[in-house]
Structure 1
């Protein structure tokens, strides 16, 4: 089995936000990191350059993680360079509508559900053979507190992420005997992300902060710390769990 310092981690959607913060932290802790992106090639290369400048190893690989052929190309590139993928952090966020159900089309609601589950299905299928062969793996899915705490106009994202959380539990049960843990990180609003900018105005941000015992919104680094634990050798006996990274908002 590979040593601690040579684990290979794939972080989907890691050109910015939680994905980029997670990629940097995993690299700082000794993993070789695949920075996956869809369109933001320049930003992904900047994440790689920052990791390498700090003494880490990283590569940027473009792929739409909803597409089987694109993901097969991604895993083949990684395999050629570094071998199999030991850690999957699935963070890539597909587009979604922010509107009331009454104004929503089935294409908007059903399309988001399909995108969410298709991406999780495709990328997970791709990494399982190598993890199964070595009897060790870490899978971490990024969800949202909206999966069980509704907020106005967020039905498409919240429903899709609720499906992802249950998917993760079923996988945890099935993959545990293979030495693969599957866990979910569920942030509340994260201040330094595009999602927060899109979904929260200033008044809503103030309301969210007021409802948080720790008195602030999360930063991407707060979320990355939990991702890194779930992805590590230290997490040998937690699977099928969901960690709320929300400053106590969900209590």
Structure 2
């Protein structure tokens, strides 16, 4: 695998968890990485420092991906420093309510749907001019196994990620003729992430027991799938969803 040497990748929500691990992996493979963050400035700078210590290039850029002006400002900052963005990994996790549909308000469900789609819309719009101009691009969205396999209390997240998968397929169809691939990586439960804290030990043990590979995913497992989609050589997969769950659910 050649990696994406010399390319520029924007990883949203990259100060910790899957985003930080993905940023490090892409950097090691020769990509210049933009580490986007919302509030974790110190953590984002730590990710950048680690990448630079390995002899690779990275920069931290603050932006709320739900705000189009902030996203455009981030894209402009990257353009000024490194040119356009070649690879988009949209990983930033928008907060959501964990409760049953019966207990949920429309503001909680509709708000999550709006924020999920608005952030994907904003970051994609910001990177497309450069990708279409050069006739090459990689877009990878972070989905969730919950979009196809419901779990109690996760209706807001699962529904929003299902909408994101639908958007990805439409974009794959529209942008394919321009040399841009669009794919989704949909993890199951992942250790050491913000989502992991909503899983109690009993549920976790049941999930592990139901997983043929005998454990939950780690951020590195998800990052490997993302890097595969982002790679220069992976030019003929688009509109697909990679399920990273150790076989707990098979589609």
TM-score, normalised by the number of residues in structure 1: 0.98
Q: How does 1:69-80 map to 2 (within 5 A)?
A: 69-80=69-80
Q: How many Å apart are 1:192 and its aligned residue?
A: 1.3
The 5 Å alignment of 1:179-218 reads: 179-197=179-197, 199-218=198-217
Shift of 1:40: 0.5
Q: 1:55 to 1:147 in 2, by over 3 A?
A: same
**Aligned equivalents of 1:244 and 1:85: distance in 2?**
26
Structure 2: tracts of 5 or more residues without a match: none
Q: How does 1:1-251 map to 2 (within 5 A)?
A: 4-197=4-197, 199-251=198-250
Q: Secondary structure at 2:5's aligned position in 1?
A: helix
CA distance in 2, matches of 1:56, 1:72: 25
Deviation at 1:250, TM superposition (A): 1.1
SS of the residue corresponding to residue 181 of structure 2 reads strand
Cα deviation for residue 204 of structure 1 reads 0.4
Deviation at 1:5, TM superposition (A): 1.7
SS for the counterpart of 1:36 is strand
CA deviation digits over 1:126-182, x for unaligned, max 9? 000000000000000001000010000000000000000010000000000000000
Distance in 1 (alpha carbons) for counterparts of 2:4 and 2:220: 22
Give the conservation status (yes or no) of the 8 Å contact 2:172–2:238.
Answer: yes
Question: In the alignment, is the contact (CA less than 8 A) between 2:4 and 2:29 conserved in 1?
Answer: no
Shift of 1:4: 4.3
Count of residue pairs brought into register by the alignment: 248
**SS of alignment partner, residue 89 of structure 1:** strand
Residues 39-80 of structure 1 deviation map (CA, whole Å, 9 limit, x = unaligned): 010000000000000111000000001111101110111000
Partner SS, residue 35 of structure 1: strand
| CA distance in 2 between partners of 1:89 and 1:34 (Å) | 10
Distance 1:182 1:47 in 2: 26
Q: What SS does the aligned partner of 2:102 have?
A: helix
Q: How much has 1:211 moved relative to structure 2?
A: 0.8
- The C-alpha deviation readout for 1:176-206, integer Å capped at 9, x for no partner, is 0000000000000001111111x20000000
Which ranges of structure 1 fall in alignment gaps of 5 or more residues? none
Per-residue CA deviation, residues 55-109 of structure 1 (Å, 9 max, x unaligned), is: 1100000000111110111011100000000000000011100001111000000
Hey, which bits of structure 1, 4+ residues long, moved more than 2 A? none
SS in structure 1 of the partner of residue 212 of structure 2: coil
Distance (Å, rounded) in 1 between the aligned partners of 2:11 and 2:23 = 6
| C-alpha separation in 2, matches of 1:73 and 1:106 | 31
